[in-house]
Structure 1
Amino acid sequence: MLHDPNLWHLNRRSASGAFAVGLFFAFWPVPFQMWLAAAIAIPLRVNLPLSVATVWITNPFTMPPIFYGAYLVGTTVMGSPERKFSFQLNWDWVVQSIETIGPAFLVGCLICSVFFSAVGYFSLNYLWRLSVKKAWKQRIQNRFPRA
């Protein structure tokens, strides 16, 4: 399966699909997002390096605001009040957070992953088509210059 050309070459279908896969898993709050993106990119036959690299939109610097935004989306959709919390690096805090802010956070992550995955797919697909049209127009103009 790893010898499929779509996994390694950039074309409109494999690039937009890879971008969608990477964005989908970028919003998942798990430590192995790149592995998940790679595991799904292979059977979907989309560009493997691009899908793995796109996951890094959520990195240690961008993760707090992105995940907080996902939490706000979850509270809005669920109609639950926003709860104040402070981060602590211990197991008790994790268990308590899963019970209090966890449901809204996970719902928000799911909504954001589906939404931004679709937006990323259609946006990259559109930009790729636009680029090809522009290149064709330029090629025609260069081949048949106006007098």
Structure 2
Amino acid sequence: MPRRFFQRYMPKPDTLRRQRSLRFIAPLIADPGLWQLTRRSVANAFSIGLFCAMLPIPCQMVAAALGARFSRCNLALAVGLVWITNPLTMPLVFYGNYRLGTLLLDTPLREAPSRISTRWLAEQMHDIMPALLLGSLVSALVLAVVANVAVRLMWRWHVSHHWKRRRQKRRQRRARVEAEFDD
């Protein structure tokens, strides 16, 4: 995971600080430790962002920002990754979490009517909530751990691959220079 790749797509802290709507969190944005791009900070940001994305709570971005603040990882990545569960993907993700919860609790699935309404959902929430919460927590924990390990491994692989390429280029340059001196 090259640092330049993330820097290309991340917002600049100065740009965010100048926005009027974000002035109330200016001290949080001003902390340079929350904008570092190291293997640890990126891996932890992936963990926090994906963990918060799987939770069926309001204000997931606020939870991710607080998690990034307390764990001293990259703020922009943690908050941005929450958007994996956006309004289009949220029903599918939370339904999958509910199915996982019913499997773990060994409870029967609630059959949905042909037309799902908010009234039906509110009436069934008492029965649905334990399975949804358990499934969401399990999937959030598994996804956070897998993401953290995967980012750290990919980052290591990328760095070692880059070093090997540099070493190879140096050898080729050295061979060309030696060939010129031999002639």
TM-score by length of 2: 0.74
Q: How far 1:4 sits from its partner (Å)?
A: 4.2
Runs ≥4 residues deviating over 4 A: none
What's the counterpart of residue 106 of structure 2?
79
- Which protein shows a greater Rg? 2
What's the counterpart of residue 142 of structure 2?
115
Structure with the bigger RCO (C-alpha within 8 Å, sep 6+) is 1
Which string of whole-angstrom CA distances, capped at 9 and with x for unpartnered residues, describes residues 110-143 of structure 1?
A: 1011010111111111111110010010111111
| Contact 1:25–1:55 (CA under 8 A) maintained in structure 2 | yes
Alignment of 1:7-26 (within 5 A): 7-26=34-53
Q: Across the two proteins, how many residue pairs are aligned to each other?
A: 145
What amino acid does structure 2 have at the position aligned with 1:71?
A: Y
Which string of whole-angstrom CA distances, capped at 9 and with x for unpartnered residues, describes residues 24-67 of structure 1?
A: 00011122000000011011000000000000010011111111
**Structure that is richer in helix per residue:** 2
Unpaired runs of 5+ residues, structure 2, are: 1-26, 176-183
Structure 2 residue corresponding to 1:139, chosen from 166, 170, 174: 166
What's the counterpart of residue 18 of structure 2?
none
CA distance in 2, matches of 1:47, 1:106: 27
Alignment of 1:18-57 (within 5 A): 18-57=45-84
What's the counterpart of residue 118 of structure 2?
89
Q: How far 1:144 sits from its partner (Å)?
A: 1.5
Which string of whole-angstrom CA distances, capped at 9 and with x for unpartnered residues, describes residues 65-121 of structure 1?
A: 11111011001100001111243224x742x22211111111100101101011111
Unpaired runs of 5+ residues, structure 1, are: none
The residue matched to 1:144 in structure 2 has which SS? Answer: helix
What's the counterpart of residue 126 of structure 2?
99
CA distance in 2, matches of 1:12, 1:5: 16
CA distance in 1, matches of 2:74, 2:127: 38
Identity of aligned residues (%): 42
Q: How far 1:5 sits from its partner (Å)?
A: 3.2
What amino acid does structure 1 have at the position aligned with 2:143?
A: F
The residue matched to 2:118 in structure 1 has which SS? Answer: coil
